[in-house]
Structure 1
Amino acid sequence: MCFSTSLRKNREEIEKKLLSQMPANFKIPLEYEPYYHLNGFTHGNFYIIKMDEQESIYPASWGLVPDWAKQDPKSFLKKSNTLNARSETIFEKSSFKQSAEEKRCLILADGFYEPHHENGLSIPYFCYQPSEEYPEGDLFMFAGLYTELDDNLFTATIITIEANDFFSEVHNKKKRMPLVLAEDLYEDWLDDGSNSQTLNELMAHGFTSNKFQAHPVSRDLYKKGINTNKPYIVVPVEKNTLF
């Protein structure tokens, strides 16, 4: 599962970073605002790079609405949780099948939150990739699927896979993790010539080799009526359990 993410870098930092990975610029630059905590259940915008326009970054509402539900997306989202798509079933489920075949995307992030269960309590952990340039968390890409509801109006979902050893300790109940792609597989994920067999192999083996770190953060993340889109929400709490 992955229902909360962060993208704390400014537009210039992101576009500069992408120059060495997959050059792309924000299509609507004035609309972009960094965030410390995006809660998927609010269906706010994160940012994607699409198969058919790989040089552009677009906002997309989190929670995929399939083409057959686009006439009433609010009703669909009330009944269906499409914030994540399990890699094992994206070519089978009607909500995801067409997008898996024709509309794959990369989703920009520099962190995400997972629940860690301990003594009957769910503790949110912030997960990130430290680097020399960004010790607080470098930019990475989730594998995703998208749909287009109208001109430049997109919805998207994050692919999840079985957790590796590290994330089995973090997300120790469901043991799932979002598919953070290795940089050398970005183009393969967006390749319109890839078939389901190739994509299934990519999802099974394409998780980045870059190391993640994780630490516990405030349980405000789980509380209603609190604005957690603030810097404090990524700061480690006193519980010093670090993976």
Structure 2
Amino acid sequence: MEQLTKHLKKLQEANEESKSVTKASAMRTIKKRMDREISDVGKAVCAIKMKLEEVDRENVENRKKPGCEKGTAVDRSRISMTIPLKKKLKDSMNDFQKLRQSIQNEYREVIKKRVFTVTGTAPTEEMIDELIETGDSEKIFQKAIVGENGREQVIDAVEEIQERNDAIREIEKKMLELQQVFVDMEILIKAQGELLDNIESQVAIAINHIENGVDALETTKSMENKSRNREEYNANTSG
């Protein structure tokens, strides 16, 4: 879990750094870092998933032992041991999903600011939508090409935005693939949680039945004692 948390943090840091990048080469470097971190997150999640599945299989196998059957204290204890880890994994999944959404939202804002900086005009939402969809920013910057300095600035902006657009598309694709791994984990976690809840519920019902049985037995014994005492009293009185 520590490795997973570390890679998620590095991914967040790389995303923050990408916001201030204005060169295509710098964006390519950050993209490589983010690709590597996403890959490492995927490896960490898969390793945890395999470990949890292994533990679950061991729990099933352990139920074959006397006194360790499904629903016993030993079985419940073994299942509950993995719950904290699964809870942390679910929290990481939520953090990852928030980061993915944040990258998408911030990408729009970065593009807006970049276009405004170069052209001096705020782009419309339709212009941003088209730019994100096609990656073609040259039309937006045409009017900003005034003199050699303006041309160089526009070329830098076009290259950087194109690189950023390609990077975001690739990162989004990989994050969606990784998101599916998290979804698979969530299904596993939910299934185990429901199993434990069901076992706990069955145990509670069983305990309730036992307690009711004990109460009924005590009541019966009490009634028998009263009846016996009454009979002895009547016998003594008659004598």
Same fold by TM-score, threshold 0.5 exceeded?
Answer: no
TM-score (norm 1): 0.21
Greater per-residue helix proportion: 2
TM-score (norm 2): 0.22
From the CA coordinates, give the structure whose radius of gyration is larger.
2
The structure showing larger relative contact order (alpha-carbon pairs under 8 Å, at least 6 residues apart) is 2
